[in-house]
Structure 1
Amino acid sequence: MEISTNIIEAILFAAGNAVPTDLLREKLDLTKAQMDSMVRQLEKKYSGNCGIRLLIFNHKIQLATNPDYKDQVGAVLNPIREKEFTRTILECAAIIAYKQPITR
C-alpha cells in the first residue's frame, strides 16, 4: 500500500494531539527518509497564508491553528467553553466540598 501525505494528514487531524514520528513510521511501514520527505511536504503545504500550521517538536508532529488567527478562533470558541453550571451541578459540588471525602 502506498502511503501518501493525505493519510498522515488524516491521522494528525483525528489525533488532535502530537503524534510521534516513530509511531507513524512503524504503523505505516515507512523508512526514515520517506517519513522525513512527507513531513517536509506537509510543512510546505501548511506554510504561508494558511489557517493550519504543522508543528514539529521532540520527534512529534501536530496540526495546530495558525497563531495569526488566534483572536478570531478565540472569539468563536470561547463562548462554547464558558457555559454556566446548572443549579444541580453547583449543589452537587457544594455537597462534595462540604462532606469530603466522598466514596460514592
Structure 2
Amino acid sequence: MTSRKVIKSAFESMLFVWGQPLPAKDAAEIFDISEQEAIGCFEELQAEYEQEGRGIRIRRVGKSFQFVTHGENETFVRRLCTPVKIKKLSQAALEVLAIIAYKQPVTKGEIDSIRGIRCDRVVEGLLKKGLIRDMGRSEAVGRPVLYGTTEEFLKHFGFSSLKELPDIEDIEGIMGVDDDEGEEEDSRQISIEMEMADGSGDH
C-alpha cells in the first residue's frame, strides 16, 4: 500500500503539471483510493502550504484542486506580468451571470423576466466563455433549457463553491438597471473588470 507521504508528493507534482483544476476523482484513480481519501490528501497539502506561508497555495474548486499564487503577492506578480491580460464583461453580462449564479437552475425566460429585456446574446456569450452551462430542460411548457454556473465561474471569481456567494435576498436589487434607458446590451460597458489571465491563478 502506497504511503500517504508518497501520495501527497505525487499529488503535488500532478498539480504542477496539470495547470487546470485537477479533479480529486482522477487523482484518486492513480492510486486506487477513494475520492474522499484523495480530497483529504489535497486538503492536508493545502494546509501545509498555508502554514508555511508559501507563495504558492492550493485552491479548492468544487471537488478539484489547483495551484494558485498567494493573493498577498499580487503586486509583485502584476509587475512581472505587466501588461496583464484583461477581459471585460459588459454590465449586461454581469447582471445575467449574477441571476444565473443565485437562481440556478434558471431558464432564459426567467432571466428575461427579472431583467426586463431579452438576454439571448448575453447567454450565448457566457456559454462561449465557459462561465455557464446547459443543465438540462425545464418541465415547463416548451421545455426550455436550464442554465447554471460552471467550475470556470468559480475559478475566475475566486470561489471554492457556490456556498461562498454573498447572501443576497433580493436578486433584482443587485442589478441597478434602468429599463427606461433603452440601451443596447452590448453598449452598456462598465469599468468592472474580471481578470481572466490563463493559468495566472489567484491574484
Alignment TM-score, normalising by the size of structure 2: 0.36
Alignment match, 2:7: 4
Matched, 1:74 2:81: no
> 1:65 aligned to 2:92?
no
Contact 2:57 2:67 survives alignment (8 Å): yes
Between structures 1 and 2, the one with greater helix share = 1
Larger radius of gyration: 1
One of 14, 18, 27 as aligned partner of 2:17 = 14
Tell me how far 1:69 sits from its aligned partner: 0.2
Cα shift at 1:33: 4.2
Q: Does 1:28 align with 2:28?
A: no
Q: Distance in 2 between matches of 1:80 and 1:54?
A: 22
Q: Is the 8 A contact 2:25 2:34 kept in 1?
A: no
Aligned equivalents of 2:47 and 2:69: distance in 1? 15
**1:16 CA displacement:** 1.1
In the alignment, structure 2 segments of 5+ residues that lack a partner are 86-203
**1:68 Cα deviation after fit:** 0.5
Runs of 4+ with deviation above 4 angstroms: none
| 1:55 alignment partner, one of 43, 59, 63 | 59
Identity of aligned residues (%): 21
* Residue 4 of structure 1, CA deviation: 2.0
Letter in structure 2 aligned against 1:5: K
SS at match of 2:30: helix
TM-score (norm 1): 0.67
Residue 28 of structure 1: how far off its partner (Å) = 2.6
1:46 aligns with 2:49: yes
Task: State the shift of 1:44 in Å.
Answer: 1.1
CA deviation after TM superposition for structure 1 residue 65, in Å: 0.3
Q: Select the residue among 16, 33, 40 that pairs with 1:37.
A: 40
Q: Which residue of 2 aligns with 1:92?
A: none
The separation in 1 between residues aligned to 2:39 and 2:62, in whole angstroms, is 14
- State the alpha-carbon separation in 2 of the partners of residues 44 and 66 from structure 1: 13
Partners in 1 of 2:47 and 2:11 — Cα distance?
14
